[in-house]
Structure 1
Amino acid sequence: MRLSYRLVNAALVLIAIVGMSFALYLEHVTGLEPCPLCIFQRLGLMAMGFIALIALIHNPASHAVKRVYAFLAGLGMLWSIGVAARQIWLQHLPADQVPSCGPGLNYLVDVLPMKEVLAEVLSGSGECAKIDWTFLGQPLSVWSCLFFSCLLIVCIWQMLRRYR
């Protein structure tokens, strides 16, 4: 059985919605405040879902355009994986090497140019190294990185597979 291009994109959109719903559930129902790196991981997931939605609606006939959509969706996942990996690294630093907590993301966006906001957030802070939630002994950052990696594999497969 061959999975259709549209079906795979519909699945990616649905998975992005479920992933964002879970993140919002953790934030608004359980009270788990996202750190700036968590918010940036969400941006990559939303980008992948948005690109998959465009590909689903457009349903291009050109194989090259299908591959471009898959590539762009994969970039969103690479972004999220990179940010999650950075957070995992911060969480495994010895306590004396963890960066100090900085101002919140809203404050940074209000007072700094976007380039400096990106640099500040991606450098991480003490709040990003804190482990508030675990499942099977692993923090959320590890599960997020695994989740994003699986989605990246789907994007790569979508980009490299043969179309009829």
Structure 2
Amino acid sequence: MLLHWFDTAPRRLLGLIAAVCAGLLAFGMYLQYVVGLEPCPMCIVQRYALIFVAVTAALASAGARKGWWMGWAALALLAAGFGAFVAARQSWLQWYPPEVATCGRDFYGMIENYSLSRAIPMIFRGSGDCTAVDWTFLGGSIANWSFICFVLMSLALVLLLARGGRRAAR
């Protein structure tokens, strides 16, 4: 039944992925502005990856031609894979924090004051606030749940691209 949906309604699935991304972004804004959690640099990179997945999945669902939606879905897959990588790195830092964890610059401070070749390694090295676990749900941190969401989106996109919408796209 589920595989039938991948074959007959690939654009609906892509629209669903875009809607889930929008919901996750809204939840992130809730945690930031209502609960008061400040996002670390890695969290901000994950948000940008989520935005990119949402936009590319929405663009993919907007086009009726198979080449159109498959191309945009492939870009969404790349963004979801990148987001999963960043979330996995942050989860690793939370499980195995560095011995010297200092609060580093914020994301925008790094981008403004350093070249990208210096700022990107600084982001992935993590800082003291990247290792902090301020919120949990069922034993998992935000980074853990973000990783799970990115992996599930990636698996759905891989399956969608592999099956290729065997019937006419709706």
Mark yes or no: TM-score above 0.5: yes
CA contact (8 A) 2:11 2:69 kept: no
How far 1:59 sits from its partner (Å)? 2.4
Which structure exhibits the higher relative contact order, with contacts defined as CA atoms closer than 8 Å and separated by 6 or more residues?
2
- In 1, Cα distance between the equivalents of 2:66 and 2:162? 16
TM-score relative to the length of structure 2 = 0.87
Instruction: From 145, 148, 160, give the equivalent of 1:146.
Output: 148
Matched to 1:120, the amino acid is M
- In 2, Cα distance between the equivalents of 1:115 and 1:105? 14
Aligned length: 161
Following TM superposition, the consecutive aligned residue runs of length 4 or more in structure 1 with deviations greater than 4 angstroms are none
Distance 1:100 1:151, change over 3 A: same
Q: Mind listing any 5+ residue stretches in structure 2 that lack a counterpart?
A: none
Quick check: 1:7 aligned with 2:12?
Answer: yes
How far 1:67 sits from its partner (Å)? 3.0
Q: Deviations along 1:57-92, whole A, 9 cap, x unmatched?
A: 222233xx4433222111111111111111111111
Q: Mind listing any 5+ residue stretches in structure 1 that lack a counterpart?
A: none
Quick check: 1:158 aligned with 2:160?
Answer: yes
Instruction: From 122, 125, 137, give the equivalent of 2:124.
Output: 122
Moved more, 46-55 or 98-107: 98-107
Determine what percentage of the aligned residue pairs are the same residue: 31
Q: Deviations along 1:10-69, whole A, 9 cap, x unmatched?
A: 10110110010011110011001100000111111111111111111222233xx44332
- In 2, Cα distance between the equivalents of 1:107 and 1:134? 27
TM-score relative to the length of structure 1 = 0.90
CA contact (8 A) 1:20 1:42 kept: yes
Instruction: From 17, 42, 55, give the equivalent of 1:37.
Output: 42
5 Å-filtered alignment, 1:62-101, equals 62=67, 65-94=68-97, 97-101=99-103
Aligned residue number for residue 60 of structure 2: 55
